[in-house]
Amino acid sequence: MTVFYQIVFRSVLRHMDAEKVHRMSFAALRGVTAIPGVASAMGRVLGPREPELAVRALGQEFPGPLGMAAGFDKNAESPSGLAALGFGFVEIGTVTAQPQPGNPAPRLFRLVEDRAIVNRMGFNNEGSALVAERLHHQRGGRRPVLGVNIGKTKVTPEADAPADYALSARRLARYADYLVVNVSSPNTPGLRNLQGVEQLRPLLAAVREALSEAGHPTLPLLVKIAPDLADEDVDAVADLALAEGLDGIIATNTTISREGLAASAEEVEAAGAGGLSGAPLRERSLEVLRRLRARVGDRVTLVAVGGIETPEDAWARIRAGATLVQGYTGLIYGGPLWPRRIHRGLARLVREAGYRSIGEAVGADVHGAGRPQESTAV
């Protein structure tokens, strides 16, 4: 199946509009997994089933550490369908308080030589009220551990951002297993300014208050940061996370850098502005993760994303301090069996390293001892 997918991708899919392919493939997945019994059957075959992969974090038990990153299912159309592909958890969004169309198309591009994607989607989504309603109707059935990623409505002034985020948090809290404050997309003007601690602190306070008002004061709260932050700013966010009692940090979002790409200058120029994801992000995302771990230790759950293509990539993030990892671009280039390959490879690496569970390896390269970490292993 992997070889077949690569043939189809290189001969057909890569020549089609990337956003159109996304819509078609996601619609096909939703259609197939909507057939009674299919999603559960796929989950049994493709889902993480090796006992050493089970992870406990953020108050939840994850069957495996690899999750679907935000951006694929912006409107919570089929978290269970994505879980059926073998992801251990699914993060929906980014969802904004008000519905918005996003940026004009075309806005999604592949740089195939680099195994990368450039997107300038601009938080296109149906708004938190409609997404909450959809999640309400999905309750009661089998669903994965669900993260909800929220962002700022484009037309909302920066000064009003706390209230904007708070409205989405209030609407969506009851459906989330954890909530992510996204202040790091490059595709909403001014959004990344909110990563500064003076702007981020009141925003997080407003979200916390909204969660309390919604009756979910202990819902795990995370922040997602950009790889383009200066090292001192990464440290500042880490310190803020500790001071404000954040439950986790997701490192990292897409990058605006175009350094070191194999694609031609013409291809890069044609793709234009936006966030770059995929293999070129690997080294910087790992650097940011290591810096965060050195700063916060195991007091904050770290989720690694950016340039994870192989089991070895995921394993390096775990040993550097990530309890969970996420992917998106890896699925695009790796095909529908990619989550299963990552989890199966991770199970092998855990056994080869002599660990009983993946939780024992979290931060092993930092601490060197490789002792079990009771807070992360089931």
Establish whether 121 is an annotated binding residue.
yes
Judge whether 102 is annotated as a binding position: no
Task: Print the SS3 string covering the chain.
Answer: CHHHHHHHHHHCHHHCCHHHHHHHHHHHHHHHHCCCCHHHHHHHHHCCCCHHHCEEECCEEECCCEEECCCCCCCCCCHHHHHHCCCCEEEEEEECCCCECCCCCCCEEEEHHHCEEEECCCCCECCHHHHHHHHHHHCCCCCCEEEEEECCCCCCCHHHHHHHHHHHHHHHHHHCCEEEEECCCCCCCCHHHHHCHHHHHHHHHHHHHHHHHCCCCCCCEEEEECCCCCHHHHHHHHHHHHHHCCCEEEECCCECCCCCCCCCHHHHHHHCCCEEEEHHHHHHHHHHHHHHHHHHCCCCEEEEECCCCCHHHHHHHHHCCCCEEEECHHHHHHCCCHHHHHHHHHHHHHHHCCCCCHHHHCCHHHHCCCCCCCCCEC
Annotated binding-site residue? 252: yes
Rounded-to-10 torsion of CA 160, 252, 118, 337: -130
C-alpha span between 180 and 268 (Å, rounded): 30
122 in a known ligand binding site = yes
pLDDT per position as a tens digit, 267-323: 999 999 999 999 999 999 999 999 999 999 999 999 999 999 999 999 999 999 999
Residues of the chain with pLDDT below 70 are 1, 141, 367-378
278 annotated ligand binder: yes
Strands 55-57 and 60-62 turn out to be antiparallel
- 68: which strand partners? 90, 327
Question: CA 75: distance to chain centroid?
Answer: 14
Known catalytic residues?
Answer: 185
Q: Give the pLDDT confidence score for residue 367 in this predicted structure.
A: 62
Q: C-alpha distances in angstroms, 306 versus 108, 188, 252?
A: 17, 19, 6
What does the alpha-carbon distance between residue 193 and residue 172 come to, in Å, rounded to a whole number? 24
CA distance 181 to 207: 9
Predicted local distance difference test score (pLDDT) of residue 1: 63
For residue 73, say whether it is annotated as part of any ligand binding site.
yes
pLDDT score for 369: 44
Rounded CA-CA distance 170/210 in Å is 5
Question: Which domains, and CATH codes, for the chain?
Answer: 2-367 (3.20.20.70)
> Is 307 one of the annotated binding-site residues?
yes
pTM for the full predicted model: 0.95
pLDDT at 376: 40
According to the annotation, is 182 in a ligand binding site?
A: yes
pLDDT of residue 371: 46
Q: What residues are paired with 304 via a beta bridge?
A: 251, 325
The answer on whether 75 is annotated among ligand-binding residues is no
